[in-house]
Amino acid sequence: MVTEAQVWEALAEIPDPEIPVISVVDLGVVRDVRVEAEHVHVEFTPTFLGCPALEVMRDAMASRIAELGADPEVEVVLDDSWSTDRITPEGREKLRAAGFAPPTPRGEATTLVQLQSNGFRCPYCGSRDTALENIFGPTPCRSLRYCRDCKQPFEQFKTI
Amino acid sequence: MNELLLEIADDELILGWRDSEWTGVAPFLEEDVAFSSIAQNEVGHARALYELAARDLGTTADELAFDREPSEYRCSELVELRLPEWERTIARHVLYEQADAERLEGLKASDDPEIAGLAAKIDREEIYHRLHAEMWDARLRDEPRYVEALEELRPLVGRRNGHTPELSTLWEEMTSVRRSQPAGTAW
């Protein structure tokens, strides 16, 4: 019989399909794991509702749990419980190392003035002299910014 | 309540479809990315809302999205129009986001925790659509063509009694793959 710790460990090996440097556990989308005999129940919240990685993540989690010899049930919970605040400190560091500026805390209001301000740190050189290039980016969870110091464009994880 | 869920889902699906028409042909690359991303979000919202309604109605999200006749959709005339002019697209975006924000506030206060939770999640994503609309509204505010477009489209925001002929044309495109039942498919 598998334990909850083994399931968490296994899920921590599943990369985010669109930002493979971080795992689904780093991303904070796994909300709960419950083990009852051979049955493993996972609660999972999508980052963005239109995220095409949702099915990929759900299927990857189910097959990884099946590999442990258990019977998986992955429940997708569509509520406001996932926030970018749930990205773990390790996850934030992995994002930064891969050239993504981690999100700001949810508590601060997201306004155009705030996004256009230079409060966002460049993941390459650490400068705060950065400009918003586009609210939207290659996936729903990212914005595009430009560092005026090291002249490097970079992606900012949107605060959700 | 299912009527309201379907109203919002239909608005988001049809608007998402219309927004996606800018993919590849927006005035500049940033807007290509922006409208494609907004379209993806709107269709994602529609799917989640259809799933919630479908469970209660004993059907599926796909059946609600694609197997109804155009006359059965509850979307407003605002989202149905094909708007190949940039200023009219922006005017619709601004008007829609304002109306949608008010409607979501109501839904977030629902007694049903599932509906309130989903509305809250949708609203988080819509913040970025509203900021995008706000940015363009500030840019075009003094442009006469934009002001005219706002006046032209404003009356359509809440018009849900009938449909424009453009919905039928869009419906034909939107459901063509599903209706064709390509070989080997089962849905």
Within a domain: residue B187?
no
Within a domain: residue A147?
yes
Within a domain: residue A122?
yes
Instruction: Give the residue from A44, A76, A108 where a domain finishes.
Output: A76
- Count of domains for chain B: 1
Residues A146 and A105 both lie in one domain:
yes
pLDDT of residue A109: 77
Within a domain: residue A81?
no
Residues A8 and A71 both lie in one domain:
yes
Residue A138: its chain B contacts at CB < 8 A?
Answer: 33
Tens-place pLDDT, residues B49-106: 999 999 999 999 999 999 999 999 999 999 999 999 999 999 999 999 999 999 999 9
Which CATH number covers residue B103? 1.20.1260.10
ipTM of the complex: 0.91
Residues A8 and A70 both lie in one domain:
yes
A145-154, long-range: CB < 8 A, 24+ apart: A145/A101, A145/A120, A147/A122, A149/A122, A149/A125, A150/A122, A150/A124, A150/A125, A152/A122, A152/A124, A152/A125, A154/A99, A154/A100, A154/A101, A154/A122, A154/A123, A154/A124, A154/A130
Within a domain: residue B109?
yes
Domain of residue A122 covers 100-157
Within a domain: residue B186?
no
List, edge to edge, every strand of the sheet that includes A100-101: A100-101, A153-157, A142-147, A130-134
Residues A61 and A105 both lie in one domain:
no
Which CATH number covers residue A14? 3.30.300.130
Q: Which of A82, A112, A134, A136 to mutate to test the interface with B (most CBs of B within 10 A)?
A: A136
Within a domain: residue A140?
yes
Within a domain: residue B97?
yes
Within a domain: residue B17?
yes
What mean pLDDT value characterizes chain A?
A: 93
- B16 vs B182, higher pLDDT: B16
For the cut 80, the answer to whether the pLDDT of residue B183 exceeds it is no
Tell me, yes or no, if A115 comes closer than 8 A to chain B by beta carbon.
Answer: yes
Tell if the CB–CB gap between A79 and B30 is shorter than 8 Å. no
Question: In the predicted model, what is the mean pLDDT of residues A104-108?
Answer: 84
Within a domain: residue B185?
no
- Count of domains for chain A: 2
**Could you tell me the pLDDT band of residue B137, with boundaries at 50, 70 and 90?**
very high
**Could you tell me the pLDDT band of residue A117, with boundaries at 50, 70 and 90?**
confident
Within a domain: residue A68?
yes
Domain of residue B62 covers 2-180
Tell me, yes or no, if A146 comes closer than 8 A to chain B by beta carbon.
Answer: no
Tens-place pLDDT, residues B149-182: 999 999 999 999 999 999 999 999 999 988 888 8
Residues A69 and A105 both lie in one domain:
no
